[in-house]
Amino acid sequence: MAKAFASAGDMDDKTVSFTEIGEGLYAFTAEGDPNTGVIIGDESVMIVEAQATPRLARKVIECVRSVTDKPISHLVMTHYHAVRVLGASAYGAPEIIMSDVTRAMVAERGQEDWESEFERFPRLFQGHEEIPGLTWPTTTFSEGMSVYLGKRRVDIMHLGRAHTAGDAVIWVPDQEVMFSGDIVEYHSACYCGDGHFTDWEDTLAAIASFEPKSIAPGRGDALVGEEKVAEAIANTADFVASTYKPAARVVARGGTLKEAWDAVRAECDPKFKDYAIYEHCLPFNVARAYDEAQGIDTPRVWTAARDKEMWAALQD
């Protein structure tokens, strides 16, 4: 019998933290589970990332209500992955914002991604019966847009491809704080299964050019202070390069996916094996790196069946 994916057996609840990263700005984190950002304006609240289910979203709302009673008016999705977007209905936000590329990806592969991630992350999808369906935006943008929560301006931008083709970042200029989605992680593995390795470093550099004082990353602890921000950006860049380069060398000599897996493990295990969801991400990361090194620019759609096929190919 093939081994299950690493996250399939992870059923223990994680400890939630709700950290202020700027005036009226918070990061909801949970030991490597998907993070959510909170931006409190003069009149209302913007949520960044919805969580996987309404059940998990209510944990975020409970934290929000511990600091403000202002209505939740906007929900921003940095990308299309099911663990980020399917809890949207719990917030009751009249405005849901994505990049236009992300909306196209929901249409193209949102259902398949939902079914795939449901198999990979059973704990995150407890209470899935409440999910009403795919999450669709009310508003999309191409390169960027601004939203005013009263006097507070929030800039939502696409700085380049990285974790997905449509990644958005959210910048709050009055506090110089960034919500990066999964472009930046902290002591959590990057999931690169739908990523663009050779673009990722440039997109990280674009984030760094804002000189953020704090970042709410996609996973891992809130990054408060410029030193911690710089550390996380450099570490994320190292993770991405350490995954792609060994796989690319294997492809260049005509090697197999299993050989790429062994090469990536040899490079990454000594540095990253203790990171959250490392073992879970690794097979997807290697498969995508192997594809991209062969010139496949658009990531292939993951399905539950493809997950199992790929995982079986990597077993000894």
Q: Are 197 and 244 in contact (CB under 8 A)?
A: yes
The structure tokens listed for 87 are: 């809890």
With a cut of 80, say whether residue 118 has pLDDT above it. Answer: yes
Band of residue 83 on the pLDDT scale cut at 50, 70, 90: very high
Region 13-23 average pLDDT: 94
Going by C-alpha positions, the residue among 148, 136, 137 that lies closest to residue 44 is 148
DSSP state of 7: G
Determine phi and psi for 276, rounding to 5 degrees: -55, 140
With a cut of 90, say whether residue 315 has pLDDT above it. Answer: no
Residue 1, exposed/middle/buried by CB under 10 A (0-12, 13-18, 19+)?
Answer: exposed
Q: What percent of the chain has pLDDT over 70?
A: 96
Position 1 scores a pLDDT of 33
With a cut of 50, say whether residue 43 has pLDDT above it. Answer: yes
CB atoms within 10 A of CB 233: 23
Sheet of 17-22: strands edge to edge? 17-22, 25-30, 33-40, 45-48, 72-76, 95-99, 139-141
Sheet of 144-149: strands edge to edge? 144-149, 152-157, 169-172, 177-181, 214-217, 223-224
Position 54 scores a pLDDT of 98
Band of residue 14 on the pLDDT scale cut at 50, 70, 90: confident
Q: Strand 177-181 relative to strand 214-217: parallel, antiparallel, unpaired?
A: parallel
Position 87 scores a pLDDT of 98
Band of residue 307 on the pLDDT scale cut at 50, 70, 90: confident
Band of residue 308 on the pLDDT scale cut at 50, 70, 90: confident
With a cut of 60, say whether residue 294 has pLDDT above it. Answer: yes
Which residues on neighbouring strands pair with residue 97, listed in sequence order? 76, 139
Region 74-88 average pLDDT: 98
Position 220 scores a pLDDT of 96
Position 3 scores a pLDDT of 59
With a cut of 80, say whether residue 75 has pLDDT above it. Answer: yes
Q: Are 287 and 193 in contact (CB under 8 A)?
A: yes
Band of residue 4 on the pLDDT scale cut at 50, 70, 90: low
The structure tokens listed for 188 are: 């959590």
- The pLDDT tens digits for 151-200 are 999 999 999 999 999 999 999 999 999 999 999 999 999 999 999 999 99
With a cut of 70, say whether residue 10 has pLDDT above it. Answer: no
**Residues whose CB is less than 8 angstroms from the CB of residue 307 and which lie 6 or more positions away in sequence, other chains included:** 5, 116, 119, 120
Residue 2, exposed/middle/buried by CB under 10 A (0-12, 13-18, 19+)?
Answer: exposed
Position 313 scores a pLDDT of 84
DSSP 60-129: HHHHHHTT----EEEEE-SS--HHHHTTGGGG--SEEEEEHHHHHHHHHHHHHHHHHHHHH-TTTTTTGG
Position 304 scores a pLDDT of 81
Q: What percent of the chain has pLDDT over 90?
A: 89
Position 77 scores a pLDDT of 98
With a cut of 50, say whether residue 262 has pLDDT above it. Answer: yes
Find tokens 């949102």 and name the residue: 110
Query: For all residues of the chain together, what is the average pLDDT?
Result: 95
Position 5 scores a pLDDT of 59
pTM higher than 0.85? yes
**Residues whose CB is less than 8 angstroms from the CB of residue 205 and which lie 6 or more positions away in sequence, other chains included:** none
Band of residue 245 on the pLDDT scale cut at 50, 70, 90: very high
* Cα–Cα distance measured from residue 254 to residue 225, given in angstroms and rounded to the nearest whole number: 45
